Amino acid sequence: MHLPGLAGQPPPVDEARLSDVDEWGRSEHMREIARRLYEPLYESWFRAEWEGLEKIPRVGGALLVANHAGAIPSDAPVIMHGVETEIRRPVYGLADHMFKAIPVVGTMWSRVGGVAAHPENAYRLLRDQRQLVLVFPEGTKGTGKVYSERYKLRRFGRGGFVEIAMRAGVPVVPITVVGSEEAMPIVAKVPSLAKLLGVPYVPITANMLLMGPLGALVPFPAKMRLRVLDPIRFDVPPDQDRYSKSRIMDEAEAIRVKMQETLYEMLRNRRSVWFG
């Protein structure tokens, strides 16, 4: 499948460059290879289906916020792939700094649009470069939960994502994902090993139990449904030194509740984990 280039304002051309790796480490060329490789997974394995894609802004910065699940979460690549192919805008995915320290993985993650989750990074991307930025406010608390707690949203951090959106003067666009919980469910965790390795969690997944070592990487073909909720704009001036902490917490909680209700509604309408 041929994917034409993405829309949005390209960074100023520096003719001295030999590669297209941008200042964040993202390479549109690598992204295209990744999209080509991921296309079968997206179309045939997860059969991803979107609702409300038109609510994602076609121009200007926006902070995409989604629920996060699965030992190796499939929601991140599905959202990035979906938005880039459907809307043709690049998406920068914020992830834990930890990635940068891992050889190969850190470099690959950065080439396909991953950026360390630092408030300054989000601000520069959203405010100065008017890009789409994807963040999972639950962080590893979302991906590290066991199967019995599926679709129960974790705390949305300390509401940092709301503060960044306020400071950058961009809307928050919530996205709810159904299917990622069943793609790689965690049946148990090994806390002692996690502590030893210095990672947030070491999961034992249903995939590993059924597929052996292969299951460490291969997700189940759960049907992925994604719904984009109405963008939330905060009626505050951008670039303030600080914003009311209580307002931030209230907004973050309101978004969480809205997403939780939407998830329950989507689950009520889901007839089958595999067929949607």
Partner 1 sequence: MPRRVLITGLGSFWGGRVAQALEGHPDVEIIVGLDTHEPSVPLERTEFVRADQSYSILSRIVKATQVDTILHTFLVVDSTRVSARQLHEQNVIGTMNLLAAAGAPGSSVRQVVVKSSTLVYGSSWQDPTWFREEMPRVGAARSRVERSLVEVESYLRDFAEDNPHVTVTLLRFANVVGTDIVTPITKALQLPLVPCILGFDPLFQFVEEDDVVRSIEFVTRVGLPGIYNVAGDGRLPWSEVAAICGKRLIPMPPVATELAAAPLARLNVELPQELLDLLRYGRGVDNRRFKAAGFTYGYTSAGAVHNFAGAVRLQRAVGSRRPQYHYEQDVEQFFRHSPAVMRDPEENVT
With tokens 């405010």, the residue in question is 127
Within a 10 A sphere around the Cβ of 129, how many other Cβ atoms? 16
Q: Closest separation between CB of residue 124 and partner 1, Å?
A: 6
Q: Closest separation between CB of residue 123 and partner 1, Å?
A: 10
How far CA 104 is from CA of 18, 101, 108, 255, in Å, comes to 21, 9, 6, 35
Q: Closest separation between CB of residue 6 and partner 1, Å?
A: 19
Q: Which is nearer to partner 1, 85 or 107 (CB)?
A: 107
- Binding positions for partner 1, rule: CB under 8 A: 14, 16-19, 21, 23-25, 97-98, 100-107, 115-116, 118, 120-121, 124
Q: Which is nearer to partner 1, 235 or 241 (CB)?
A: 241
Q: How far apart (Å, rounded) are the C-alpha atoms in residues 227 and 48?
A: 11
Name the DSSP letter for residue 238: S
Buried b (16+ CB within 10 A) or exposed e, 157-171: bebbbbbbbbbbbbb
Angle among Cα 186, 187, 189 to the nearest 5 degrees reads 80
Q: Closest separation between CB of residue 250 and partner 1, Å?
A: 28
Q: How far apart (Å, rounded) are the C-alpha atoms in residues 200 and 252?
A: 23
Q: Closest separation between CB of residue 102 and partner 1, Å?
A: 8
Q: Which is nearer to partner 1, 121 or 140 (CB)?
A: 121
Q: Which is nearer to partner 1, 31 or 225 (CB)?
A: 31
